[in-house]
Structure 1
Amino acid sequence: MTIHSPHARIYEKPVDRLDYYYQAIHTTILSKQNAVSGLIPASVAITTHGDYTDAWVRDNVYSIYAVYGLALAYRRIDNDTGRAFELEHAVVKLMRALLFAMMRQADKVENFKKTQSLEHSLHAKYNTNNGETVVGDFDWGHLQIDATSLFLLALADMTTSGLTIIYTQDEVDFVQNLVFYIERAYRTPDYGIWERGNKSNHGQPELNSSSIGMALAALRAINGINLFGARGGPSSVIHVLPDELTRNSTTLHSFLPRESNSKEIDGSVLSIIGFPAFAVSDQDLIRRSKQEAKDKLEGKYGWKRFLRDGHQTVLEDTTRLHYDLNELKIFEKIESEWPLFFTYLVLEGLMTGNLDQAREYRRKLEPLVIDSLTMQPVSMSSAPVSPGALSYSSGSSSFMSHHSSNNNNSIPLLAELYYVPAEHIDAEKENPHSQPRLPNDNVPLVWALSLYFLGCLIEEDLLSPSEVDPLGRRFTANKVARQHIVQIVLLSEDAALQSTLSMYGLETQTLEEITSNITVLHPRTLAEVYAGLGRNAKMGLSGRPKRPVGVLGTSRLYRIQGQLYAFTPHFMDNEEFYLNADPDYLVSAFESELSFTSANWFYPGRPTMVVVLTHALLGSMQNQLQDSESYPLSMAQPDRSKKNLLNFFMNLRCGDCSGVRVRLCRLTESVNTSNIESLDFLVNQPEWENILVMANRSANRRRRRSIHRKLAYDEGETQANTPRTPGTKTPSSRRHNTAFHGKSLASPLDRLNQESYFDQISTALAQLEADAGEPRFKLKDPENVSLARKTVAHADSPSSNNNVARITELDTSASSSSPSVIGNAGISSVSDDQQVLSESPLASDMLSLVLGDPSQFQQAVESLVASVNLYDQIDLLQYLVSCKSLDFYVSELEATLNELLEEVYLKSMRLQYWSIARQAAGLLRKLVPSLTINITDLVIRQKQVSIGSGPQEYLLSMPTGPDALRKMISEHCNDDVREGPVVQEIILYLGSFIRTAPHIFDGILRLRTHYIIIALREEISRINGCDEEEAVEHLMQLSPFELKSLLGTILSGPSLCDATTSDIVVRDKPGGFMMLSLPPAVSSMTSISNMTNNSTTVIESADKNILVRVQSAGFSSGNFARVEINGNTMHATSRGVHVWAITHDGAHSSGNDSSANKLLLERASFDTHISVEESRSFKRFIDWLPAGTTVIIAVKDDFIEHLDQSGIEALKSLGSTKIKQVGYRDSYVLISEKGKCLL
């Protein structure tokens, strides 16, 4: 790949050309390298715009690239007269000088790994003479991720090419910590390549795509590099975790072609789509980014850095650092143009084989070259460089061909930039690119000149692209994307579970059955192991922070000294947050992680997921075989959800999961096709044999931290006091008032101020029931309606700042039109001067608690000791925590408040009491591990996220660290302790939606979480015809998966929220309703039959037409089943019989319930292939359905294996006449009205 140029014919010997370049590079670059420190100043100029004699990290690395390239070129010839050695060690000297300058700030690296704070960032420039800092921590925009990344990128290239830059283990450890320093670039706002952050230069850092791209390239390049070269061992290898690579990559590809929130496009994009980073793998994205930048930024003299860039224009006020926001407009169309960007484009063309691009920009660059003898551009005499005077030569190196042969003392130089003189400002604004420009005083810009020389060396075939890029980054965009098969290894925690799963047809291994040389460990153990990577006591470096290792990291096997280790995936661990305790959400997460792993796997071999199935995860399988005789199924949802989880694992046997190819296998079978990573870096650490053992013990200890129960628990008592949710067919008894009412989530016409509400409350007050020998406590309610209204009205006022906790029990004998509620422990607000209500006749059985008032602390502790109800326990703990710290030791229970909260939290997760889990998570200030990642996914797509409301609302327009988020949520979501966890869930779901369905966010600029919660509440209230408090209780009782589904519904568009079309609702798990829309009138009924069974039926009900389409495909025709009701499609996700039952709601709705006369949809599935009990459960479900119910049945895969006579009779009772003709894995559908067959 050679561009033939005139000067190439003049010098027949390459050594002569190399000698010329040696003289030019020595004169312009090496002569400025400090003899003591080894650093190079950015320039020799000191102007009003700055002192360029300091050594910038970025400029030094770019400046030495020409020296590095020339050293590689000299390696080609035999008689190099020692110049190759000299040049190579000049490179080594500079790189080590930068290394030492950064090592002096090792404390900053250590702190930055944990805080990502500006004050803990490495300095961006140093004193050229001694490598010391030159400005204070807050006197410059030091946080420049791209500069540190460029250093690591060059270090990887140079080490691979044979240079030895790193000498000691201390230096290796520091470089490893630099990897940890940059690996979270995807969520670290910095000042960027131009050191100014926001375009207005107000010192506000931003997330910059150029920084993310350079960090990504550096991480890819240095991963697996042995810094000691061929003579190194395992301890000198640099490790990069794959999940950090992937997060940076996905963020970059989502961000481009935009540079940041304030800079829609930037010339720095050239450094990441081309040389030196080559970070983008999407060819179309490279083309679009380059074309957009070219259209908006390219001029005759180079490219603008970004639009409205005032740097070094004649209109810039140099007396102040920052611009006024309205000032940027005056720089429009007169921005300075930088020849630097032409050198990037020449190099990219040469490196990628795009020779037309290389020639084009070589021609554009040559007229801008300044002759060192005349200090004038080659195309001018004494006047400013005029666009019309720029003559592009036909040769590709006109300066070299005309000057280097005739006068070796003439050296090409490049100015930093060209600006519009003051007298031409108005004309340039009127007609852009029409006026002549002048170079500034910073000549040469060594950074630009170095890239220019490097391009000349490659162009003249003195150096090849493979020598400059030994790691082959330039081929990133040419790699063919592959879909990988994900290997899944299922293990049972004991033989009993293995036997039960085997009965279901799911073959697993126990941990004891795995061969002796493979050990399966908890994912936290891997984080503990990597915490030792880069640890160095002499420099105070602790190694990798103990952050969770992502799914790509745990999908590899690990070897140390011949022993193999496998780690379970972290997303299956529900101990950090309650989301994965929901089996349905876990199925969704598992599918998402499988898709992510398959799409982003880049290692040799296949990813291997090792999943340990436990009794806690799957529930009591034997109990699931014996379903309750009473329905609806919504009353026994935990078991149903866990059965869905079991079905999910069984469906993996077919080899496909939502389009991802999977393979179930034994662990020993997967070893040969897995990727195996070495952990031998542990060998050099003291007592390395115990590190894995102790780390696993620590992880297991955390998992068992709540095994010693301190609090009593009665399942019946807790279930009986579960808050009523709208639409529940069987009356429940408890209502939890810890709701978003009053000022928090109330509408302008709050129902708390309506007369009927207080009439209902006053009617519902009842006598306290006490268990024998076990006192029950309650909080006092208002004695009369007027006082109660006064209390609530005062709570709405801004002066309300004190909380009163009340433990209340309400009578179940209230009228049917009022809420049926008992056994309450709730929180509401009253003012400081509000008098505590006088005691009722039941004063001896009542306990009045004021949050923050410790006067009743001991009585609350005694109540907690006696309590067996999770709802009472969590509310009592909330009061105790308001009086004491979480570390307070409760001697009566021999535990701290934190341990007691953790116990309630763990119980509520396992028993799926979601409101309690959210309340406990809020009190413990738990944080979703991936919250920052999801906020990043939103803000890089220009979606602002707000937390809190009113004066407490805080707007997020850039990624924020976990500690700051935890504090922010605690401070801004304090009206209800459950609001914080719900806000985290919403952000998590919004991030998921914007990755998978970005179109639903079209037109949305700001996502206000508080008002999203209000929208969810109003949707539940409208659909179910309940008041706001009931709706909020319903919302809090929703499982994570249901909350995500509901959020998806309200984001899907206004048509789904049209009250005139919402006459069909789906009963969800807590007993409330979700909505389906009703399309325009349907006039015909059709029936189709082919390879699949299809049915379309119009049902007349409640003066409405319901269009039902159902389809089932046999195994050979696609193996699926789905039903469409009025355009709303629902898919069968598991094997067996799937039933959709439509009933009229009039019999189950109160007179004032707006859901009356609507159609309810019940859903159920039965895997009659697995067991006869499933067939009997199907029969019980059909028997439970009332007469007149429309029943829709579709089957997927096989369902006849264990369909016994009871199941057959159930189908016959619905009018089936052909059930006995159905064969193995046949298709089958049925639409029937119970008591009357429709089809």
Structure 2
Amino acid sequence: MNTSFKKSFYFCKIFIPKTQTSSIIDKIILVNNPLRIMSQQNTEETLDKFYQEVYQTILVRQDPLTGLFPASTDINEHGDYTDAWVRDNVYTIQAVWGLAMAYRKSNIDKSRAYSLEQSVVKLMRGLLQAMIRQSHKVEKFKHSQDPLDALHAKYDTQSGQTVVGDDQWGHLQLDATSIFLLMIAQMTKSGLRIIFSHDEVDFVQNLVHYIGRAYRTPDFGIWERGHKINNGMAEVNASSVGMAKAALEAMDEMNLFGEDGDQSSLIHVMGDEIARSRSTLQALLPRESYSKEVDAAVLSIIGYPAFAIEDRELRDRTRTEIIEKLGGRYGCKRFLLDGHQTVMEDEHRLHYETSELKNFKDIESEWPLFFTYLMLDALFRNDQTEAHNYQEKLEGLLVEKDGLQLLPELFFVPFDAVEAEKAAPHSQERVANNNLPLIWAQSLFLLGRMIKEDLLSLSDLDPLNRHENCDTQKPKDVQVCVIAVSQSVKDQLQEKGIPSQTLDEIEPTKIMYPNELAQVLHKMGANDKLGLSGRPKRRLRAMATSRLYHINGKPALFLPQCQNYQDFYLELDNRILIEEIKSEFSYISRHWTDEGHAIQALLVRQNMLDNENSSELFEFLRDLNSGQIDFAKATNFNEAIQNTSIKSIVNVPDLPSYCPTLNSKVKPTFFLNNSPEETVELSQNIMERLAQDPHEDELLDELCLSRNLYRQAKILVHLAKKHPLSYSCYLSKYDKSLALEVLLEEVYQDAGELRKWSIVRSIAGILSKSHFGLDDAVTELIVRRKVVIVGRSYNKNGLIQQSTNNQEIIQKIKESCGDDTREELIHQEVLIFLSYALKQDPELFNNMISIRTSEFIHLIVAQIASELEISQGQAFDLLVAMSPQAIQERLKLVLSTYKEMKSNMQSLEFIKNTSGSSDAHFVEGEIDQEFQTRVSNWKKWRLQNGAICHLPKDFYPKIRTVLKSCKGIILGDKFNSSNCIDSSLVLSSMTTGEPAFEFLTENLLNDIPAADYRHLCIEALSAIGAFTVANPNLKIDDYFVMDVIIGHAVRLNWLHKYPAQAQHYQERKAQAWELIYQSSPQRVAASVSDALKFLLEQN
């Protein structure tokens, strides 16, 4: 700085009024710095150019009253685009927001910066007001998850009112609500004030509740259609789940009043909703949904604006798959077989026929929009070369209109070029449609260009710096505080070398049950004026109970659900409890993102020490104390709270009472007595007497006098079969009437204390008790593309294909089981344990689409019956009397059988092509001899594998090859037309990696009642698949009828061994079937090959 400048600076400082000092000093600096003058002028000119473009393409369309934008000005055969879509509006305003920040940071034309900012605020508040008018729908949807209760996806641009009915549009679009919330958070962080009042804070909190279960909620998604044929079937869409996850993360602890806010304007998010969204995304990606194996919509969540995927490898793999499968010269296709605005589309109906999807192959419309996502994604990855590449591509797609360069919505293949494009994809010139511009795309392109011009930094566009947190964090250990329920328990632990603290010693912090926390959180967002109740009273999961709470200033720590033994009995088994606790440690550590450590209370009760598995509990606690348990470490409570995360919740009107029952055994009543010594199984005479239906007064007197839990349970179960749970039971001994449910609950608790598992399960079924994680277990299976079938047989009543709640799962189990309520509970346990196994070893479930709980139970019963040489009925009685952990071990044994055999499943595919000739070749491959030696009973092997419907590697691709060579495959009853996999249907409407094809095939396999024959069909299909792969030019103008092919294979297999008995085969047919079941997979494949030879030669 030169001397003359210093003098002028101080001179100005003396005479210039303070309010004008900054601007005038800036001008003085510019006068003395020619380079900065040029830079400032260039920046001003560049900003002005962007302003003119933003104004003419975007701002000129903003409604002066509502602040909303029409999606376009176009009205055509595809719809009225003049309405204001939530999603389009949020994307449209982003260029305005970006330009406002560019003006603000450059300190050029503050008036223009303010005007742009207020345009952003006006739009966001316009959408907010439109949604607040539908607060009643938000309240309903939180509880129902019904698409008809969803917020509307679009509104009238001029009034903000609804424009179509609840049932006239696919309104449930969780990504739209989510990006609205995400941008409220980002814009608030940037300094804008979107939310003005506490009523609006409450509404936003309820929108957070609204999207909280996106990970399990089928919606219509970004393309407003759900299933790709637009048949009204919603799907769980990765793009919706990812946007919801981003919104939840952005909103967590966000103060909607910015720097002027306090605790009352904070938004609270349940960490488990984020964690479960993450798990769902990891299971779904790179797919979008059930019907869309790849979708360019996912670009919005792997990069800007969501940055929802922490796993770099998964992001890269997803991006690559989209570019390779959907990329073109004019943009990306939305998804494969997308007919929207192609010339082959029938514009007079919304849905497609499945048979017509093949017409759209290779001519799907290409959208420049996705190049804007890819350009922004490259910029955020600092890949300037790729960003420049996409910018050039976009500039080449601009269409001039009224002197403006605009991005069209899409480019389509004209009718006269369709055949040529199908013959040589990407060879023909495409034509832009009339929707010009797609403002959503124009806005994102403007953002990318502003970053390229250095007007915006990446942090300007992402103030929350989500793009910098896109790599998986290192796990943090959970701080575990061992709390003794009494001094006596503490002394017993101390004797075993395990330090602990009592409830009194951690005062003033109170230990509370998780349902009490659910009651507190139910108040979050409650607002009588808007008719909003706050968070639904749902069970809470591990992330929610892993922090210290200050509720109206009072500290509280909540037990995790797995320690709430009153709800369900599994946790009464110490070994199961320990496994669940370890699983929760792993889950919390993997998903925890707070700066402070997670904290969990492990409450030790007397009955845990009296348990037959108490030694395992002591060992676990010692390992926890010495740091030998993964992801967790025992910590003194007073030390732990210094390092933990704290969530403060204020203005809770009804603070729940602290739990006084923790210090004592919890019993609902004290009217029934029992004795461990007298609790023995009932004799046949007593069972027969109860079967004669004695008078109820006698039974109730007997109930009070008996000290045998088995007799008490049998009496109450007998009454429960005749009366509702509210039935009043008069106990003459006490001259008091009690509801049947109260008495059942007491016996349930007492049986649990004594670990009488058969009684516990019997009464738990009557009381419709369910494990807190049952719906989570089913969801865990479903999001990994499994179909869950509960009950004894495959039918629609037992089929679960979408996430649902505990009540519906239990109802399905009840409808699909017999009268024995114990069986219903075994189905629950199997589902829980299967979900554990899936988390621990996902490979066990490879090539397994359907999860049939009844088959697993049958296999376990068969194991017990075989080991003890008893009947199936006796084996089942032993099963229901086993501890949960013993059943889990049995299930692990069943699963491990398949793990051992999995590597050998390829041995089912024996037919190889040894020539380049087009003639059919039947050459047998080799089988692993060790595998043959290890399996001593092939029929039993088929029964076990068929029960779980475990499929060989590459099974489905080979089935598609079979379908390409014939008219279809008939599985099962050949006279039932519904048993056909039609080649034209599958090949025309389902892509290679589409789950729908897998479900179709497996559903037909599941319809085959006999497990061993089901597996024989799988072996035969595998052999035929290998045959068609080896003979790609084979074309058969007929169906492969599996019953016919297998029938011939059985005959030829018999004649292979007994060639002299050809004339007497009909008399030996039953033996021939027994022989094929006892034959090795190699021999079966050879027999199928012989059958194909025979049939082809006959043809």
**Common topology (TM > 0.5):** yes
Is residue 2:404 matched to residue 1:411?
yes
Q: Secondary structure at the match of 1:559?
A: strand
Q: Secondary structure at the match of 1:891?
A: strand
Give how far 1:702 is off. 13
> For residue 1045 of structure 1, what is the aligned residue in structure 2?
889
d(CA) in 2 for partners of 1:540 and 1:227?
21
Give how far 1:701 is off. 9.6
d(CA) in 2 for partners of 1:371 and 1:702?
78
Deviation string 1:961-1019 (CA, Å, 9 cap, x unpaired) is 33332332232334432222222211112222122211111221211112222122112
Alpha-carbon distance change, 109 to 416 in structure 1, aligned in 2, over 3 angstroms = same
> What amino acid maps onto 2:720 in structure 1?
V
> For residue 358 of structure 1, what is the aligned residue in structure 2?
387
> For residue 1014 of structure 1, what is the aligned residue in structure 2?
858
Matches within 5 A, 1:1084-1233: none
> What amino acid maps onto 2:434 in structure 1?
D
Deviation string 1:1161-1206 (CA, Å, 9 cap, x unpaired) is xxxxxxxxxxxxxxxxxxxxxxxxxxxxxxxxxxxxxxxxxxxxxx
Matches within 5 A, 1:423-434: 423-434=416-427
> What amino acid maps onto 1:920 in structure 2?
I
Deviation string 1:1109-1131 (CA, Å, 9 cap, x unpaired) is xxxxxxxxxxxxxxxxxxxxxxx
Q: Which region of structure 1 is more displaced relative to structure 2, 980-989 or 59-68?
A: 980-989
TM-score normalised over the length of structure 2? 0.76
Pairing partner for 1:565 from 546, 556, 559: 556
Pairing partner for 1:678 from 620, 630, 648: 648
Is residue 2:783 matched to residue 1:940?
yes
Deviation string 1:64-109 (CA, Å, 9 cap, x unpaired) is 1111111111102334161111111111111111111111111111
Alpha-carbon distance change, 848 to 1056 in structure 1, aligned in 2, over 3 angstroms = farther
d(CA) in 2 for partners of 1:24 and 1:91?
16
> For residue 624 of structure 2, what is the aligned residue in structure 1?
652
> For residue 724 of structure 2, what is the aligned residue in structure 1?
885
d(CA) in 1 for partners of 2:86 and 2:899?
55
Pairing partner for 1:316 from 327, 335, 345: 345
Give how far 1:122 is off. 1.1
d(CA) in 2 for partners of 1:615 and 1:704?
9
Q: Which of the pair is proportionally richer in strand?
A: 1
> For residue 612 of structure 1, what is the aligned residue in structure 2?
603
Is residue 2:835 matched to residue 1:991?
yes
> For residue 747 of structure 1, what is the aligned residue in structure 2?
none
> For residue 871 of structure 1, what is the aligned residue in structure 2?
710
> For residue 462 of structure 2, what is the aligned residue in structure 1?
469
Pairing partner for 1:927 from 750, 770, 780: 770
> For residue 484 of structure 1, what is the aligned residue in structure 2?
476
Q: Secondary structure at the match of 2:464?
A: coil
Segments of 5+ residues of structure 1 without an aligned counterpart are: 1-7, 374-409, 620-637, 722-733, 735-764, 769-776, 781-805, 808-846, 850-855, 1059-1076, 1082-1239
Alpha-carbon distance change, 51 to 9 in structure 1, aligned in 2, over 3 angstroms = farther
Alpha-carbon distance change, 952 to 599 in structure 1, aligned in 2, over 3 angstroms = closer
> What amino acid maps onto 2:478 in structure 1?
V
Deviation string 1:733-773 (CA, Å, 9 cap, x unpaired) is x6xxxxxxxxxxxxxxxxxxxxxxxxxxxxxx7xx4xxxxx
> For residue 486 of structure 2, what is the aligned residue in structure 1?
494
d(CA) in 2 for partners of 1:185 and 1:909?
36
Pairing partner for 1:217 from 238, 242, 246: 246
Q: Secondary structure at the match of 2:527?
A: coil
Is residue 2:756 matched to residue 1:913?
yes
Residue identity (%): 42
Segments of 5+ residues of structure 2 without an aligned counterpart are: 1-36, 903-929, 935-1099
Runs of 4+ aligned residues of structure 1 deviating over 4 Å after TM superposition are 8-12, 560-563, 699-705, 856-860, 950-953, 1054-1058, 1077-1081
Give how far 1:905 is off. 1.6
Pairing partner for 1:420 from 395, 398, 413: 413
Pairing partner for 2:530 from 514, 523, 539: 539
> For residue 279 of structure 1, what is the aligned residue in structure 2?
308
> For residue 666 of structure 1, what is the aligned residue in structure 2?
636
Deviation string 1:552-591 (CA, Å, 9 cap, x unpaired) is 2222122356543222222211121111111110111111
Deviation string 1:137-180 (CA, Å, 9 cap, x unpaired) is 12111111111110000000000111111111110001001111
**Contact 2:541-2:560 within 8 A present in 1 as well:** yes
> For residue 436 of structure 1, what is the aligned residue in structure 2?
429
Give how far 1:668 is off. 0.9
The CA RMSD over aligned residues, in Å, is: 2.5
Q: Secondary structure at the match of 2:65?
A: coil
> For residue 1196 of structure 1, what is the aligned residue in structure 2?
none
Is residue 2:697 matched to residue 1:848?
no
**Contact 1:57-1:151 within 8 A present in 2 as well:** yes
Q: Secondary structure at the match of 2:105?
A: coil
Deviation string 1:1186-1234 (CA, Å, 9 cap, x unpaired) is xxxxxxxxxxxxxxxxxxxxxxxxxxxxxxxxxxxxxxxxxxxxxxxxx
d(CA) in 1 for partners of 2:79 and 2:518?
45
d(CA) in 2 for partners of 1:440 and 1:703?
73
Give how far 1:304 is off. 0.7
**Contact 2:486-2:663 within 8 A present in 1 as well:** no
d(CA) in 1 for partners of 2:899 and 2:387?
53
Matches within 5 A, 1:467-866: 467-478=460-471, 481-514=473-506, 516-560=507-551, 563-619=554-610, 638-639=611-612, 641-657=613-629, 659-660=630-631, 662-679=632-649, 681-682=650-651, 685-686=652-653, 691-692=654-655, 694-697=656-659, 700=661, 706-721=667-682, 768=685, 777-779=686-688, 807=691, 847-848=692-693, 857-866=696-705
- Count matched residues: 866
Q: Secondary structure at the match of 2:470?
A: helix
d(CA) in 2 for partners of 1:117 and 1:163?
34
d(CA) in 2 for partners of 1:172 and 1:861?
56
**Contact 2:103-2:110 within 8 A present in 1 as well:** no
> For residue 814 of structure 1, what is the aligned residue in structure 2?
none
> For residue 125 of structure 2, what is the aligned residue in structure 1?
96
Q: Secondary structure at the match of 2:226?
A: coil
d(CA) in 2 for partners of 1:859 and 1:958?
48
> What amino acid maps onto 1:848 in structure 2?
D
d(CA) in 1 for partners of 2:867 and 2:901?
9
**Contact 1:1018-1:1028 within 8 A present in 2 as well:** yes
> For residue 269 of structure 2, what is the aligned residue in structure 1?
240
**Contact 1:300-1:433 within 8 A present in 2 as well:** yes
TM-score normalised over the length of structure 1? 0.68
> What amino acid maps onto 1:250 in structure 2?
S
> For residue 292 of structure 1, what is the aligned residue in structure 2?
321
**Contact 2:680-2:710 within 8 A present in 1 as well:** no
Pairing partner for 2:226 from 197, 211, 227: 197
d(CA) in 2 for partners of 1:870 and 1:952?
38
d(CA) in 2 for partners of 1:334 and 1:934?
41
d(CA) in 2 for partners of 1:17 and 1:1044?
68
d(CA) in 2 for partners of 1:53 and 1:984?
51
Q: Secondary structure at the match of 2:322?
A: helix
Q: Secondary structure at the match of 2:476?
A: coil
Deviation string 1:385-430 (CA, Å, 9 cap, x unpaired) is xxxxxxxxxxxxxxxxxxxxxxxxx322111111111111111111
d(CA) in 2 for partners of 1:1028 and 1:555?
45
Pairing partner for 1:1027 from 863, 867, 871: 871
Deviation string 1:312-334 (CA, Å, 9 cap, x unpaired) is 11111122222222222221111
Q: Secondary structure at the match of 1:368?
A: coil
> For residue 924 of structure 2, what is the aligned residue in structure 1?
none
Deviation string 1:1057-1104 (CA, Å, 9 cap, x unpaired) is 99xxxxxxxxxxxxxxxxxx99989xxxxxxxxxxxxxxxxxxxxxxx
Is residue 2:930 matched to residue 1:901?
no
**Contact 2:676-2:754 within 8 A present in 1 as well:** no
Alpha-carbon distance change, 340 to 1000 in structure 1, aligned in 2, over 3 angstroms = same
Alpha-carbon distance change, 206 to 700 in structure 1, aligned in 2, over 3 angstroms = farther
Q: Which of the pair is proportionally richer in helix?
A: 2
